[in-house]
């Protein structure tokens, strides 16, 4: 490389997104980039000319290792959607004048499907205007809902945390005996895709029966069937644990959480902000059955738990960061790095690049055949798919009993 690289982070944070940032930095430096800039708060911050020189923060190999183990987005993130090119060329002119000033040769954006929309538009604009920089997307989302890639970095660590925590919750549920039993409802992220909620099945093993029911957002949720299934389970066992997606909906399209409280807030991408599904269902069950209930939201914890990250995930996140820079350096643009799985056991994977136009704004859902017929659990295929992605641990750098992170003063 002869010019400079700029990298940004976009969308919801994960435990692995900073590992991709470390990978981008390392490969850019290895390939001779003079400067590696980090845009602050994604493309939105770049529009305000907010960026930094990453070499001031990653000063040695220890910093890079800490960065790989730091949750959330080191550079800050955004949920900013670029206008269509024909609607507002000024935004594009501004961005490209900044890139020009910074002598950017490669623009790497780490994010999910909304963020790939940004890569698509910027690379289109560059091609149309003859601007020479290359634009490459680097996959990231705990939701695992990106098309054309076997899975996304960030998913494995979240799945490992969910499997571990749900197992600990199941264990806890058997401590105390309640007259009419205990029903625990665990709410897991995933608005439309059930990849995370399905990973609660990882709790299942020789030493644990796993959650009793799993409800993904891909299938309509039926309150009456749910109630009768819970009643039946309580006839056989004293503690029932149910994993549900925050985004489960009734047949008529209403979110279950909307049954309890009205939630009208909608974000910039038109997504409804959800919360309280577990809370609604646990009140519903308590009222109908008279048993003890608990609602547990894994909330922010599930995407920020670097302390229990998956080694496969952190390494793959690092690799896709490097692969993005390599692709840009070799002349690709308008592409996203994807992960190919060569085999399940032993698990082997590699990277290639695919056209971002086929990825942006698309959502990969859990296939119907990976959910049981009655819609209350995931199949063995699902578990065999996710199991390799949670393998291995990344030992946190413990300082005084607490994991150390790489710190950017704000």
Stretch 374-393 residues interacting with a second copy (CB under 8 A): 387, 390-393
The residue whose two tokens read 């920089």 is 133
Number of residues that make up the chain = 410
Strands 398-399 and 402-403: antiparallel
Q: Please give the size of the binding site for a second copy, defined by CB under 8 A.
A: 66
382: which strand partners?
A: none
Residue of 114, 117, 143, 212 marked catalytic: 143
Of 117, 218, 297, 316, which lies in the binding site for a second copy, with binding defined by CB under 8 A? Answer: 297
CB of 172 to a second copy, least distance (A): 4
Report if residue 202 touches a second copy, rule: CB under 8 A.
yes
Of 59, 180, 299, 348, which lies in the binding site for a second copy, with binding defined by CB under 8 A? Answer: 299
Give the whole-angstrom CA distance, residue 68 versus residue 396: 10
322: which strand partners?
A: none
The dihedral of CA 83, 87, 88, 92: what is its sign? Answer: positive
Instruction: Give the phi and the psi of residue 112 in degrees, each rounded to 5.
Output: -100, -155
Contact 205, 311 (CB under 8 A): no
Residue 60 burial (C-beta neighbours within 10 Å; 0-12, 13-18, 19+): exposed
Report if residue 315 touches a second copy, rule: CB under 8 A.
no
Contact 339, 139 (CB under 8 A): yes
CB of 331 to a second copy, least distance (A): 32
Of 84, 207, 252, 264, which lies in the binding site for a second copy, with binding defined by CB under 8 A? Answer: 207
Nearer CB in complex with a second copy: 164/349: 164
Nearer CB in complex with a second copy: 133/230: 230
Contact 42, 141 (CB under 8 A): no
- Return the biggest CA–CA distance within the chain: 72
Report if residue 240 touches a second copy, rule: CB under 8 A.
no
205: which strand partners?
A: 208
Strands 239-245 and 182-188: parallel
Q: Find the part of the chain contacting a second copy (CB under 8 A) among 27-35, 120-128, 303-311, 358-366.
A: 303-311
Token pair of 318, please? 């690092």
Radius of gyration of the CA atoms of the chain, in A: 22
Report if residue 237 touches a second copy, rule: CB under 8 A.
yes
Report if residue 140 touches a second copy, rule: CB under 8 A.
no
Nearer CB in complex with a second copy: 61/399: 399
Q: Is 30 a catalytic residue?
A: no
Instruction: Give the phi and the psi of residue 314 in degrees, each rounded to 5.
Output: -65, -40
Of 111, 112, 163, 194, which lies in the binding site for a second copy, with binding defined by CB under 8 A? Answer: 163
Site mask, a second copy, residues 63-92, x = CB under 8 A? -------xxxx--xxxx-------------
Of 12, 23, 211, 247, which lies in the binding site for a second copy, with binding defined by CB under 8 A? Answer: 12
Report if residue 348 touches a second copy, rule: CB under 8 A.
no
**Sequence-ordered list of residues with C-beta below 8 angstroms from that of 300, at least 6 positions apart, any chain:** none
Of 62, 176, 223, 266, which lies in the binding site for a second copy, with binding defined by CB under 8 A? Answer: 176
Active centre residues (catalytic): 143
Contact positions vs a second copy (CB under 8 A):
9, 12-13, 41, 44, 70-73, 76-79, 160, 163-165, 167-169, 171-177, 184, 202-203, 205-208, 237-238, 294, 296-301, 303-308, 310, 387, 390-393, 398-407, 410
């Amino acid at each position: 490389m002869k010019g400079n690289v700029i990298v940004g982070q976009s969308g919801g944070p994960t435990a692995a997104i900073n590992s991709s940032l470390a990978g981008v930095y390392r490969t850019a430096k290895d390939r001779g980039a003079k400067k590696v800039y980090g845009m602050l708060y994604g493309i939105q911050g770049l529009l305000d000319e907010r960026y930094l020189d990453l070499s001031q923060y990653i000063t040695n190999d220890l910093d890079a290792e800490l960065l790989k183990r730091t949750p959330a987005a080191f550079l800050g993130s955004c949920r900013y959607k670029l206008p269509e090119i024909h609607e507002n060329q000024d935004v594009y002119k501004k961005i490209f004048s900044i890139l020009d000033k910074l002598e950017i040769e490669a623009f790497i954006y780490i994010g999910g499907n909304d963020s790939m929309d940004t890569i698509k538009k910027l690379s289109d604009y560059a091609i149309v205007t003859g601007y020479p920089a290359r634009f490459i997307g680097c996959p990231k989302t705990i939701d695992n809902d990106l098309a054309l890639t076997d899975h996304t970095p960030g998913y494995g660590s979240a799945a490992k945390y969910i499997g571990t925590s749900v197992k600990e919750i199941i264990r806890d549920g058997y401590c105390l005996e309640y007259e009419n039993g205990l029903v625990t409802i665990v709410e897991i992220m995933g608005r439309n895709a059930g990849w995370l909620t399905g990973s609660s099945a990882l709790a299942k093993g020789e030493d644990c029966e796993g959650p009793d029911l799993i409800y993904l957002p891909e299938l309509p949720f039926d309150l009456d069937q749910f109630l009768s299934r819970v009643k039946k389970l309580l006839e056989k066992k004293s503690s029932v644990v149910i994993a549900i997606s925050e985004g489960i909906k009734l047949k008529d399209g209403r979110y279950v959480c909307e049954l309890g409280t009205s939630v009208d807030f909608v974000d910039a991408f038109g997504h409804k902000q959800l919360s309280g599904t577990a809370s609604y269902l646990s009140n519903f069950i308590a009222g109908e059955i008279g048993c003890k209930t608990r609602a547990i939201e894994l909330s922010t914890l599930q995407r920020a738990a670097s302390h229990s990250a998956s080694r496969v995930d952190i390494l793959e996140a690092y690799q896709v960061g490097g692969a993005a820079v390599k692709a840009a350096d070799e002349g690709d643009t308008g592409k996203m790095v994807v992960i190919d799985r060569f085999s399940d056991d032993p698990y082997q994977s590699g990277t290639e690049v695919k056209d971002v136009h086929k990825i942006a704004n698309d959502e990969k859902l859990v296939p119907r055949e990976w959910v049981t017929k009655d819609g209350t659990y995931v199949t063995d295929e699902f578990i065999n798919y996710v199991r390799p992605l949670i393998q291995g641990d990344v030992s946190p750098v413990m300082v005084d009993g607490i994991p150390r992170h790489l710190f950017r003063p704000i």
